[in-house]
């Protein structure tokens, strides 16, 4: 019996059209999740009333657990909180004394962090507890919201309250040191922030339905600003991004630990380490546009109707003339 070779679909240059090349190409801009239309150069509005959790100087929430208030650990004011050299699973609790609706009243948790020691394998987690010390919502890894645990550097941690997925009122904020002994942190200026004042704003790309998968081939970030050191050779830090630009993937179906991966870009080192700078353009009005690009490995990022790709902005970007982000992808139709 004579066997016939299977028919191979070929392009004009006679190269085989493999499955990945048959994907229909597309592009989508990152859209704000609450209205789906607002561009990324959002204007911050005045901050409402901030609820102080602890700043070392006022009479706010009670602090207990490992560590102590010291003058040397203060970011501002007189006192900060020194965790001491922490062992595994040691917690510090900030107790409000009564239950409050954090999820319905606030947009973000902010605090200042100075890492003093961080042995390999260390982990700093944050979560909320009720009056019975039961966890409410997800336990989040602080690593997802900072660039790195640089030693002896103060950096502000800004976490969207929505990331916790709170299922009820809370009474306590818990910090947990896990995995390895020998880690140490200084903390200061814990606060709950209402809407406005620079976010957080979440911009998202999501596939339209369960039958569609986006295979991401490239992410593009475009920034336009007055020409002052903004060319691709001498690019200066983006002063408007004090807290950095957070890129991540989440699985919205998971109730806990739904952040699949995340990285934060805050300055030159972070930007150039993550993105590839492209050609710049100077317009007649004196504005310069600089593009940044990152190409994931083939099919390493897949976007579905529940696994979404997000940029999280935790600053007021009104000082930047324009900022946009786009995802380039191939479309896979499941069962089509």
pLDDT for 12 equals 47
The residues near 102 (Cβ < 8 Å, ≥ 6 apart) are 128, 161, 166, 169, 170, 192
pLDDT digits (tens, 9 = 90+) for 170-182: 999 999 999 899 9
3-class secondary structure, 189:
strand
pTM: 0.82
Domains observed in the chain: 19-44+199-333 (2.60.120), 51-193 (2.60.120.260)
The pLDDT of residue 92 is above 70:
yes
Among candidates 292, 302, 297, which has minimal Cα distance to 249?
302
pLDDT in tens, 66-75: 999 999 999 9
Across 160-166, average pLDDT: 93
Instruction: Yes or no: say if 194 and 105 are a contact pair by the CB < 8 Å rule.
Output: yes
Whether 228 shows a pLDDT value over 90: the answer reads no
pLDDT of residue 9: 45
Q: Which of 51-60, 83-92, 105-114, 237-246 has the least mean pLDDT?
A: 237-246
Strand, coil or helix: what is 144? helix
Answer yes or no: is pLDDT of 17 > 50: no
Confidence of residue 316 (pLDDT cuts 50, 70, 90): confident
DSSP state of 78: S
Higher pLDDT, residue 197 or 8: 197
Mean pLDDT of the chain: 84
pLDDT at 14: 54
pLDDT (0 to 100) of residue 123:
94
Predicted local distance difference test score (pLDDT) of residue 298: 57
Residue 230 — very low, low, confident or very high, per pLDDT cuts 50/70/90? low
Q: Which two tokens stand for residue 17?
A: 């059209």
What pLDDT sits at residue 11? 46
pLDDT of 183 > 50? The answer is yes
Report whether pLDDT(36) > 80.
no
């Amino acid at each position: 019996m004579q066997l016939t070779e299977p028919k191979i679909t070929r392009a004009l240059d006679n190269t085989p059209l493999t499955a990945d090349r048959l994907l229909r190409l597309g592009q989508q801009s990152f859209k704000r999740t609450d209205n789906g239309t607002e561009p990324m150069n959002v204007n911050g509005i005045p901050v409402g009333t901030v609820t102080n959790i602890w700043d070392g100087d006022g009479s706010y929430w009670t602090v207990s657990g490992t560590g102590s208030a010291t003058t040397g650990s203060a970011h501002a004011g007189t006192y900060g909180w020194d965790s001491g050299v922490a062992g595994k699973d040691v917690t510090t609790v900030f107790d409000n004394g009564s239950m409050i609706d954090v999820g319905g009243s606030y947009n973000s948790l902010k605090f200042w962090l100075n890492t003093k020691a961080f042995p390999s394998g260390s982990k700093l987690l944050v979560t909320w507890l009720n009056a019975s010390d039961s966890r409410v919502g997800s336990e989040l890894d602080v690593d997802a919201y900072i660039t790195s645990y640089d030693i002896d550097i103060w950096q502000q941690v800004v976490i969207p309250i929505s990331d916790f997925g709170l299922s009820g009122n809370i009474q306590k904020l818990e910090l947990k040191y896990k995995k390895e002994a020998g880690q140490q942190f200084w903390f200061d200026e814990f606060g709950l922030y209402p809407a406005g004042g620079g976010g957080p704003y979440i911009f998202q790309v999501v596939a339209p339905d369960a039958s569609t998968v986006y295979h991401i081939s490239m992410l593009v970030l475009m920034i336009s600003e007055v020409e002052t050191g903004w060319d691709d050779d001498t690019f200066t830090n983006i002063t408007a991004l004090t807290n950095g630009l957070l890129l991540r993937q989440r699985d919205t179906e998971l109730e806990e630990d739904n952040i699949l991966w995340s990285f934060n870009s805050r300055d030159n080192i972070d930007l150039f380490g993550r993105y590839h700078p492209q050609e710049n353009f100077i317009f007649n009005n004196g504005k310069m546009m600089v593009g940044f690009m990152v190409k994931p490995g083939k099919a390493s990022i897949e976007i579905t109707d529940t696994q979404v790709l997000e940029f999280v902005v935790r600053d007021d970007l009104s000082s930047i003339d324009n900022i946009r982000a786009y995802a380039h992808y191939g479309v896979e139709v499941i069962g089509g």
